[in-house]
């Protein structure tokens, strides 16, 4: 199988995407497949650039600005490198955030009838929008914390949500721009920070308790994992991508009943957003044992130690096999779509 691995891009999650792309390329090649490395901000990489890629480390904080030389759009990339991408059997999207995850790139690939991994353009756009996602979770009776969207007045926030609360960009991943706010005096600064990454900001009731995640593959829930941050209460950017930032336990030490409950809610969330292929569903569990859905990730991290691969490993799926299955699911979906046209 020949796979065009698309990664990098120009979003605030560029570093994370490069790390994912590097590991996916290695995994696919180890399984005997041909992988083309394509940074969607630079194009097809040569051997020396690939070597630098394979040694990539994620910085402690997301990039606050992407250099102008990386400003190539998704459509520009496809026009420039269409031959290389179309020569592959499938495009593996190892992009996080921005136009690589919000349905934009997916829509362009659909226009060219190029099979790609993950969810389609509509589901990708919906899942990226936390406000819309939470509305769909509520309609599917999936517990999710109360929230409001900016603009808001502080007295209204106090009456509606109380403190502490979580302030975050509406359409970002990797907890980019996220803050836990404990007093009204800190609210404006947190909103300004989140506004640097998105024009919509969500304020959400903070759920004290434990954090869990469930990987999804072909509509089925994989192993439940627990994330225990080592510095602070939340699984923030530094905790996710720096060594020793968090302890991740797969499978989570939960009763069979609670494990089944988390997996069932993950399946329902996956279906509610009409996701396809693979995803990862994140939860908080409060002190009474109730799970609260935080969000769905249509393009989760794909290093060998990322949460989805760990969820798969605990379910008996090695990382190269996981990457291969994700590709084959994409090809099968594309064939079904073509037959229906």
Catalytically annotated residues: 13, 174, 241, 280, 282, 295, 297, 301
Please return the burial class of 73, using the count of CB atoms within 10 Å of its CB with bins 0-12, 13-18 and 19+: middle
Classify residue 87 by its DSSP letter.
Answer: T
What gap in Å lies between CA 176 and CA 193, rounded to an integer? 10
- Furthest-apart CA atoms within the chain: distance in Å: 60
What gap in Å lies between CA 150 and CA 192, rounded to an integer? 11
What gap in Å lies between CA 97 and CA 46, rounded to an integer? 25
* Residues 272/142, Cβ–Cβ less than 8 Å: yes
Please return the burial class of 48, using the count of CB atoms within 10 Å of its CB with bins 0-12, 13-18 and 19+: exposed
Q: How many CB atoms are closer than 10 A to CB 75?
A: 14
* 281: enclosing H helix or E strand: strand 278-285
What gap in Å lies between CA 302 and CA 116, rounded to an integer? 15
Sign, CA dihedral 32-56-252-163, equals negative
What gap in Å lies between CA 341 and CA 335, rounded to an integer? 10
């Amino acid at each position: 199988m020949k796979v065009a691995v698309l990664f990098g891009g120009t979003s605030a999650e560029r570093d994370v995407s490069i790390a994912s792309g590097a590991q996916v390329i290695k995994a696919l090649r180890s399984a005997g497949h041909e992988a083309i490395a394509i940074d969607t901000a630079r194009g097809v990489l040569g051997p020396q650039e690939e070597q630098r890629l394979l040694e990539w480390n994620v910085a402690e904080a997301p990039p606050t600005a992407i250099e102008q030389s990386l400003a190539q759009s998704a459509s520009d990339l496809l026009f420039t490198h269409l031959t290389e991408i179309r020569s592959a059997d499938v495009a593996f999207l190892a992009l996080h955030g921005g136009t690589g995850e919000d349905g934009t790139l997916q829509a362009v690939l659909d226009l060219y009838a190029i099979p790609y991994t993950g969810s389609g353009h509509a589901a990708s756009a919906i899942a990226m929008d936390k406000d819309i996602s939470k509305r769909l979770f509520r309609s599917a009776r999936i517990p999710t914390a109360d929230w409001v969207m900016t603009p808001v007045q502080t007295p209204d926030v106090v009456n509606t949500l109380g403190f502490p609360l979580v302030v975050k960009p509406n359409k970002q991943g990797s907890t980019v721009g996220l803050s836990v706010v404990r007093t009204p005096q800190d609210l404006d600064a947190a909103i300004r920070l989140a506004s640097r990454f998105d024009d919509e900001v969500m304020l959400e009731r903070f759920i004290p308790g434990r954090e869990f995640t469930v990987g999804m593959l072909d509509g089925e829930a994989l192993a439940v994992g627990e994330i225990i941050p080592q510095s602070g209460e939340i699984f923030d950017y530094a905790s996710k991508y720096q060594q020793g930032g968090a302890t991740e336990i797969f499978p989570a030490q939960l009763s069979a009943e609670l494990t089944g409950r988390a997996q069932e809610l993950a399946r329902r969330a996956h279906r509610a957003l009409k996701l396809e292929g693979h995803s990862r569903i994140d939860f908080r569990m409060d002190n009474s044992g109730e799970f609260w859905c935080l969000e769905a990730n249509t393009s989760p991290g794909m290093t060998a130690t990322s949460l989805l691969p760990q969820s798969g490993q605990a379910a008996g799926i090695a990382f190269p096999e996981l990457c291969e299955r994700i590709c084959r699911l994409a090809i099968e979906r594309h064939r079904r779509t073509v037959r229906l046209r």
